[in-house]
């Protein structure tokens, strides 16, 4: 069997923790609006 080629996955930088995070299926329709890598960062957005 051939190994499937890995497609290029887009990523963004979280505005709170400044770490890169990758695209997820659940963000498929709202990827342009995603700013935070997790709910934890979303809750701590004002504590930076």
Give me the half-sphere count of Cα atoms (radius 13 Å) on the Cβ side of residue 35: 8
pLDDT beyond 90 at 41: yes
- Would you list the domain boundaries of the chain? 17-43
Mean pLDDT to the nearest integer, 24-30: 92
Q: By percentage, how much of the chain surpasses pLDDT 90?
A: 67
The model's pTM is 0.70
Distance of CA 37 to the CA centre of its chain: 5
Mean pLDDT of 3-32: 86
Which uninterrupted H or E stretch holds 15?
none
User: How far is Cα of residue 15 from the mean position of the Cα atoms in its chain?
Assistant: 11
Share the mean pLDDT of the chain: 85
């Amino acid at each position: 069997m051939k190994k499937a080629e890995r497609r290029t996955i887009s990523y963004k930088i979280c505005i709170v923790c400044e770490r890169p995070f990758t695209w997820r299926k659940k963000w498929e329709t709202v990827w342009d609006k995603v700013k935070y890598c997790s709910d934890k960062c979303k809750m701590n957005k004002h504590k930076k």
